[in-house]
Structure 1
Amino acid sequence: MLIAGGANALIGVLKLVAGLLTGSSAMLAEAAHSVADTATEGLLLTALRRSARRPDRRHPFGYGKERFFWALIAAVSIFVSGAVFAIYEGVRTIVGGEAEQTLAWVAYAVLGVSFVLEGFSWLQAVRQVRNEAAAEETTFRAWLRGTDDPTVKTVFFEDSAALVGLVLAFGGVGLHQLTGSALWDGVASLLIGLLLSGVAYILGRTNKGLLIGRQANPRLVRAIADDLAARPEVDAVVDLLTMMLGTDSVLLCARLDFDGALGADDVERACVAIDADLRARFPDLAEIFLEPVPRTDETMRSRVLERYGRTFDS
């Protein structure tokens, strides 16, 4: 990630120089785009390091959600340092009228080099997403929608936006050169700004949901429910609550109706055994809470029906 950040910083400097030499607002917008990407890499590196800290007395559930927080800040960074400037440059160029373009070949050269470097980074991001999706036996798009790892998702969308932005900038510079009108340059800059705004919105929405407290993957929840329901000590799974504590870290609260023939000591031993078995089968479970609850409790039943639309034993 440090190498990627350094590469983005170098690309940003080249784009800035090209923008100043050519007078292209699209190139300046792309320079701002690279600044946003560089800031994002730094924030994601911070997210990885701080979220790996062990739980302590002040944070007994750990620091896993720091990854979501810093990824959210990265999304804000993309919007503030990239999208706003690009939109401003686009509007200024469109409203300001004609502007002379010089040394267009410099812009083409920088865009070409940038596309090769960003393309290599994008291919690596695609490969990582495919591997993660294959490991979870899901599709590429489904993994992106449901992943609890905002860093991988951020890198993928960031690199995808970088390639599209370069194509837009190339089009803006080329059309400006062909027509002599700076309008196309301004339109390209405006589109780059809107592109970054869209990426920032998608990433911000994802991390907002994780910070608020999103349920674990539904497939995992269903597998846990089936595992608990199959145990001889359990008559019924009354309720099952999960929340993402961090990437690959899940909090589980299970309310179970135990076999009525079990005594208090038997229930305690059953809870210990269930906890150990669940942790062995589902490594993502970081914290497990088991609560004996009768399935005939109407208040609890109504809560479950309100939340899920059905009971777990139906």
Structure 2
Amino acid sequence: MSANGGTKAIVAALLANIGIAVTKFIAWILTGSSSMLAESIHSVADSGNQGLLLLGGKRAKRAATAQHPFGYGRERYVYAFIVSIVLFSVGGLFALYEAYHKWSHKEGITDWQWVPVTVLVVAIVMESFSFWTAIKESNHVRGKASWVQFVRRAKAPELPVVLLEDLGALVGLVLALFGVGMTLITGNGRWDAAGTAMIGILLVTIAIVLAIETKSLLLGEGAEPQDVAAIERAINEGSEVERVIHMKTLYLGPEELLVAAKIAVEPCETAEELARNINTVEARIRTAIPIARVIYLEPDIYQAQAAARGGSAAASATPSTGGAGTTDEAARTHGG
């Protein structure tokens, strides 16, 4: 995805949440509504989360070091995972606690009754702008994927995180409006508590989804099948390579892919010719998949006849995982 698109969506969400948090806190102070307090803490948590995403994006741009030779691209995943923890603890669990407290003290809203409704309506408008920005930026990169597929498969975490946060914020505002509205109509503060509890359950659910998806990125994901196929085509389309014996890919960061492959090559007269052929293949891979910035190709000799006989020269190629390429029974002149 475009890093600029993700940053634009984060900044829009941050500005909206800061403004919303201030107005919600004022409404809570005036009315004592638990839904308003829960939504205020929710907006504060979201603002902090957007700050974490921006910090993660900045730190991920650091140059590689001897201790971290592949760079810091995956730091964006770390901060996205922290966001899920903040959303779960600060947003979701606090809302559930406040709902329990309000259920035990079921006073209605007696002062400034028009304030919470006005604030919530204004907040819905502001949050809708943030959500629209996230949708617009996501549409630039999600292609034909459904929204569920986009959230699950996106390698850059910022847009999925902002999308889920904004969706949760909008639904939470509607739930808060329901709780506050029913409390104003009936005079029973337990409606306010019920709205707060629903907000808490919503935030905990979104936080769990974010944690699961981000954990997968932290563990290391391979390229998507279509990208694996494109890499294989790039390797095989020239005369330098007979076939891919096995291949593995790994995202080092949202915009940096590692490709490691054992390839069968024709015998070469000199090492210089072999090196030139490998460089040619690497160039084709980078043309096909520009984010394939780290490529390791190990040349080998594939002996189909020996493989068919099952002789001592035959060996089984290691099955690939995480974006694997073709796996074959291969006979080679040396192990590895």
Q: Report the TM-score when normalising by structure 1.
A: 0.91
For residue 29 of structure 2, what is the aligned residue in structure 1?
A: 20
Structure 1: gaps of 5 or more residues: none
2:216 matched to 1:209?
Answer: yes
Task: Report the count of equivalent residues.
Answer: 310
Distance 1:245 1:275 in 2: 18
SS in 1 for 2:298: strand
Question: Does residue 77 of the first structure (1) align with residue 103 of the second (2)?
Answer: no
Residue 81 and residue 175 in structure 1: after superposition, are their counterparts in 2 closer, same or farther (change >3 A)?
same
CA shift for structure 1 position 294: 4.5
Q: How does 1:44-193 map to 2 (within 5 A)?
A: 44-94=53-103, 96-102=104-110, 103-134=112-143, 137-193=144-200
Deviations 1:183-215 (A, max 9, x none): 221111111111111111111112211111111
Identity of aligned residues (%): 35
Corresponding residue for residue 199 of structure 1 = 206
The answer (yes or no) to whether the contact 1:125–1:156 under 8 Å persists in 2 is yes
Q: Deviation digits for residues 232-281 of structure 1, max 9, x if unmatched?
A: 12111111111111112101101111124665443222111111222233
Structure 2 segments unaligned to the other structure (5+ residues): 1-9, 308-312, 330-336
Question: SS at 1:286's partner residue?
Answer: strand
Q: Does 1:258 align with 2:265?
A: yes
Q: Does 1:36 align with 2:45?
A: yes
The amino acid of 2:190's aligned partner reads L
Distance 1:36 1:129, change over 3 A: same
Shift of 1:222: 1.4
Separation of aligned partners in 2, 1:171 and 1:138: 33
> Conserved in 1, the CA contact under 8 Å of 2:16 and 2:130?
no
The residue type paired with residue 271 of structure 1 is I
Report the CA distance between 1:292 and its aligned residue. 1.9
- SS for the counterpart of 2:263 is strand
- 97-106 vs 85-94, which moves further: 97-106
Higher helix share: 1
User: How far apart are residue 310 of structure 1 and its match?
Assistant: 8.7
User: What is aligned with 1:230?
Assistant: 237
CA contact (8 A) 1:130 1:140 kept: no
Mapped to 2, the partners of 1:143 and 1:250 lie a distance apart of: 19
Q: CA RMSD in A?
A: 2.3
2:258–2:294 Cα contact (<8 Å) kept? yes
Give 1:86 deviation, angstroms: 0.3
Measure, in 1, the Cα distance between the counterparts of 2:250 and 2:40: 39
